C-alpha cells in the first residue's frame, strides 16, 4: 500500500475538512470557476470522491466580471449541532458568507452575509455552545494577524467585539486560521509566509478561547520551505481526528517542475500529513512525501493510469468535475443526440461569460482529445483551450476549414494557421508530458503534431494566478450562431 500525495489532484487549494461519525467531508476554494466550492467525501482520508459542488445556483454565486483567481477564496467546513456549515469569502462582492445544510450530499442554502471582514474565515464551536468566527485582518487599516469574535450563525451578527487574538510568529501573511479544542487546550493554527515557496503552518495554544496564545517552540510545525522536496508551498492546513483518535492535517502543496527555476502549473493541490501529539501536547508531522501505513488507509489503491470517455450524446448534464469560467449562460450548452452543442461565447482573453467547460489538469502526463463535428463556419471558433487565466491560455481550434493555434501569454500573442480539415469530423488532441504541451490533429488514426509550447509559460509563477491549468472546450461565435457539436472527449493520464 503506497499512499501518495496529493490525495486530491489538480487545482483544489485551501482544503478544509470535518468529520461526522466515520464520514469525512472536504471542501476547496474555487475562485472564478462555476460551480463553486467542490465538495468531497471519504471514509479513509486517502480515497476521495467528489459528491458535488456547494455553490450551484446563480443566486448563490455571482461571478460576473470577476477576474481570474478572484471570487471564492478559502472556505472552512464544520459539523455543528448536526448541521454542516461552510463559511467562505467572495472577493467579488467583498463579503464573508455562510451556507448550511443537514445533508452534505444534497443542496446547500443560499449564502448568509456575515458582519465579518478580512478573508479566510473559520468557525469554532466551544463546549459551552458558543460559536466563534476567526479570520485575517481586513486588507486596509487593521494590524496583520488573526481576529476572532463570537457569532450568531442564525443571523450572521457578532455577539462580541472583533478582537486581534494573535499576530502569528512574525512571518508575512498570517492567514487560514482554525481553532481547535483538545485536552483542555485551545489550539490556534494558521498559515504564514504567503502561499508561495515560503509557505508554512504554525500553531499556538491557550487555556482561554480568546488567548493569550503561546507559540509552539517547534514552529513552523509543517512546511517544506528551503527543502529539496518536490512538494512545495506546503501550508493552509486544517486538522481532523479519526474515530480512533489519530490526527491528520490536510494542506495545500504544489508539485513543482524545473530544477533551479521551480514552477508549477497543476495548481495548489490537496495533501495529507499524519500528525502525532508530543507528551507536552504539541503536533509533530509524521509524513507528507511518504505516508506511513495506517489501518485507516487499508484498501487504498490508486490506478497507475486512467482513461475516461465523456460521450456527450448520452449525457444530459455535466458531471461534478466539469467547470465553467464565471457564471455560464445555460442556453449556450445544449445536449442532444449529436452531442454537445456550444453556442455564443466570447474571446477567452476577455473578462466575461465565455462559452467554456473544462476539467482541472491533475497529472503531468495527460491528454485531452475532443471529437468535433464542425460546420466549417468561417465566423466561429470551436476547439480546446489550455486555460490558466484570461491573460494566459493557448487555444487550439477550428474556424472554417482551417485549424488554428492562438498563444496568449500576457502581452505576447500569436495566431497561426497550422492545418486544414478535409472532413466535418475532426479530432483535436492536447497532450502534456510535464515539460510541454503538444497540439495534435488526429485523422484516420494518424497523429500530426501541429504546435507546442513549454508548460512554464502556463505556470502560476509566470501568470501570477492562484490556480492551475484547466483544459476545456470552448466556442466563440463572432457574428452568427453556428451549429458545431462536440461528440465526445477522452481524457488519459498517468498517475505520478
Ligand atoms: C487564500 C489565502 C491565500 O484565501 O490565498 O495566499 C487565498 N493565501 O489563504 C486564495 O487561495
Domain annotation for the chain: domains and CATH numbers: 3-297 (2.115.10.20), 305-494 (2.60.120.200)
Query: Which of 16, 29, 234 has the most ligand 1 atoms within 8 A of CB, as the residue to mutate?
Result: 29
Q: How far is CA 450 from CA 316, 409, 438, in A?
A: 33, 19, 8
Strands 365-373 and 402-409 come out as unpaired
Q: Which atom of ligand 1 is found nearest the CA of 120?
A: 4
pLDDT at 1: 59
Q: Would you call the peptide bond into 212 cis, given omega within 30 degrees of 0 as the criterion?
A: yes
57 SS3 class? coil
Query: Ligand 1 centroid to 70 CA: how many Å?
Result: 10
Query: Ligand 1 centroid to 115 CA: how many Å?
Result: 20
Query: Ligand 1 centroid to 321 CA: how many Å?
Result: 22
Q: How far is CA 132 from CA 71, 228, 240, in A?
A: 24, 39, 18
Name the nearest CA neighbour of 221 among 233, 237, 203: 203
pTM of the shown model? 0.97
Cβ atoms of 131 and 80 closer than 8 Å = yes
Q: Which atom of ligand 1 is found nearest the CA of 176?
A: 9
| Annotated catalytic residue within 120, 150, 175, 371 | 175
d(CA 274, CA 287): 6
d(CA 408, CA 388): 10
Q: Which atom of ligand 1 is found nearest the CA of 175?
A: 9
Name the nearest CA neighbour of 262 among 236, 292, 228, 290: 228
Does 454 participate in catalysis according to the annotation? no
Q: Which atom of ligand 1 is found nearest the CA of 69?
A: 10
Cβ atoms of 188 and 165 closer than 8 Å = yes
Cell numbers for 167, please give them: 499576530
Burial of 151 (0-12, 13-18, 19+ CB in 10 A): buried
Residue located nearest, by CA, to atom 1 of ligand 1: 74
Residue whose grid cell is 513543482: 256
Query: Ligand 1 centroid to 277 CA: how many Å?
Result: 27
- For 53-69, letters b (16+ CB in 10 Å) and e give bbbeeeebbbbeebbbb
Enter the DSSP assignment of 455. G
Rounded to the nearest angstrom, the gap between the alpha carbon of residue 177 and the centroid of all alpha carbons in its chain is: 18
Q: Which residues contact 256 (CB under 8 A, 6 or more apart)?
A: 230, 231, 232, 262, 263, 264
Pocket of ligand 1 (CB under 6 A): 13-14, 29, 73-74, 119-120, 175-176, 191, 194-195, 236, 466
Cβ atoms of 237 and 13 closer than 8 Å = no
Cβ atoms of 475 and 381 closer than 8 Å = yes
Residue located nearest, by CA, to atom 8 of ligand 1: 195
Name the nearest CA neighbour of 76 among 88, 61, 92, 91: 88
Strands 200-206 and 185-192 come out as antiparallel
Burial of 418 (0-12, 13-18, 19+ CB in 10 A): middle
Residue located nearest, by CA, to atom 5 of ligand 1: 195
d(CA 442, CA 308): 18
Does 447 participate in catalysis according to the annotation? no
Q: Per residue of the chain (496 residues), give pLDDT as tens.
A: 578 899 999 999 999 999 999 999 999 999 999 999 999 999 999 999 999 999 999 999 999 999 989 999 999 999 999 999 999 999 988 999 999 999 999 999 999 999 999 999 999 999 999 999 999 999 888 999 999 999 999 999 999 999 999 999 999 999 999 999 999 999 999 999 999 999 999 999 999 999 999 999 999 999 999 998 999 999 999 999 999 999 999 999 999 998 878 999 999 999 999 999 999 999 999 989 888 888 888 888 888 899 999 999 999 999 999 999 999 999 999 999 989 999 999 999 999 999 999 999 999 999 999 999 988 788 899 999 999 999 999 999 999 999 999 999 999 999 999 999 988 899 999 999 999 999 999 998 899 999 999 999 999 999 999 999 999 999 999 887 777 899 999 999 999 8
d(CA 25, CA 43): 9
d(CA 15, CA 29): 7
d(CA 378, CA 399): 5
Amino acid at each position: 500500500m503506497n499512499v501518495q500525495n496529493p490525495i486530491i489532484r489538480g487545482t483544489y487549494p485551501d482544503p478544509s475538512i470535518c468529520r461526522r461519525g466515520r464520514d469525512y467531508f472536504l471542501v476547496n476554494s474555487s475562485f472564478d470557476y462555476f460551480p463553486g466550492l467542490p465538495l468531497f467525501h471519504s471514509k479513509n482520508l486517502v480515497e476521495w470522491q467528489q459528491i458535488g459542488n456547494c455553490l450551484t445556483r446563480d443566486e448563490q454565486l455571482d461571478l460576473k466580471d470577476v477576474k481570474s483567481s478572484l471570487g471564492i477564496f478559502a472556505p472552512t467546513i464544520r459539523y455543528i449541532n448536526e448541521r454542516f456549515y461552510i463559511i467562505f469569502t467572495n472577493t467579488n462582492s467583498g463579503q464573508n458568507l455562510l451556507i448550511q445544510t443537514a445533508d452534505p450530499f444534497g443542496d446547500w442554502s443560499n449564502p448568509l452575509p456575515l458582519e465579518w471582514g478580512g478573508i479566510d474565515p473559520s468557525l469554532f464551536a466551544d463546549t459551552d455552545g458558543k460559536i466563534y468566527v476567526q479570520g485575517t485582518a481586513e486588507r486596509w487599516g487593521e494590524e496583520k494577524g488573526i481576529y476572532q469574535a463570537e457569532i450568531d450563525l442564525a443571523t450572521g451578527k457578532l455577539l462580541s467585539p472583533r478582537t486581534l487574538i494573535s499576530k502569528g510568529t512574525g512571518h508575512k501573511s498570517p492567514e487560514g486560521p482554525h481553532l481547535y479544542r483538545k485536552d483542555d487546550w485551545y489550539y490556534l493554527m494558521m498559515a504564514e509566509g504567503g502561499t508561495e515557496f515560503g509557505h508554512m503552518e504554525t500553531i499556538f495554544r491557550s487555556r482561554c478561547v480568546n488567548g493569550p496564545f503561546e507559540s509552539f517552540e517547534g514552529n513552523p510545525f509543517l512546511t517544506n520551505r528551503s527543502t529539496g522536496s518536490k512538494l512545495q508551498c506546503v501550508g493552509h492546513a486544517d486538522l481532523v481526528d479519526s474515530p480512533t483518535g489519530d490526527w491528520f492535517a490536510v494542506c495545500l502543496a504544489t508539485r513543482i517542475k524545473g530544477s533551479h527555476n521551480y514552477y508549477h502549473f497543476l495548481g495548489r493541490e490537496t495533501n495529507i500529513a499524519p500528525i502525532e501529539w508530543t507528551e507536552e501536547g504539541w503536533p509533530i508531522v509524521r509524513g507528507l512525501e511518504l505516508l506511513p501505513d495506517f489501518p485507516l488507509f487499508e484498501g487504498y489503491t490508486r490506478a497507475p493510469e486512467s482513461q475516461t470517455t465523456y460521450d456527450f450524446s448520452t449525457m444530459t448534464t455535466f458531471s461534478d468535475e466539469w467547470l465553467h469560467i464565471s457564471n455560464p449562460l445555460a442556453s449556450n450548452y445544449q445536449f442532444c443526440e449529436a452531442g454537445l452543442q456550444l453556442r455564443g461565447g466570447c474571446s477567452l482573453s476577455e473578462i466575461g461569460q465565455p462559452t467554456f467547460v473544462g476539467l482541472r489538469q491533475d497529472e503531468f502526463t495527460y491528454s485531452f482529445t475532443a471529437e468535433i463535428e464542425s460546420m466549417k463556419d468561417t465566423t466561429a471558433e470551436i476547439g480546446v483551450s489550455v486555460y490558466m487565466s484570461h491573460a494566459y491560455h493557448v487555444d487550439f481550434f477550428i474556424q472554417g476549414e482551417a485549424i488554428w493555434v492562438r498563444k496568449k501569454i500576457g502581452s505576447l500573442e500569436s495566431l497561426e494557421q497550422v492545418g486544414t480539415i478535409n472532413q466535418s469530423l475532426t479530432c483535436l488532441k492536447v497532450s502534456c508530458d510535464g515539460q510541454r504541451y503538444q497540439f495534435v490533429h488526429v485523422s484516420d488514426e494518424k497523429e500530426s503534431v501541429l504546435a507546442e509550447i513549454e508548460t512554464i509559460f502556463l505556470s502560476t509563477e509566470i501568470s501570477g494566478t492562484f490556480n492551475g491549468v484547466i483544459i476545456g472546450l470552448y466556442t466563440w461565435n463572432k457574428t452568427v450562431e453556428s451549429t458545431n457539436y462536440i461528440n465526445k472527449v477522452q481524457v488519459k493520464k498517468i498517475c505520478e
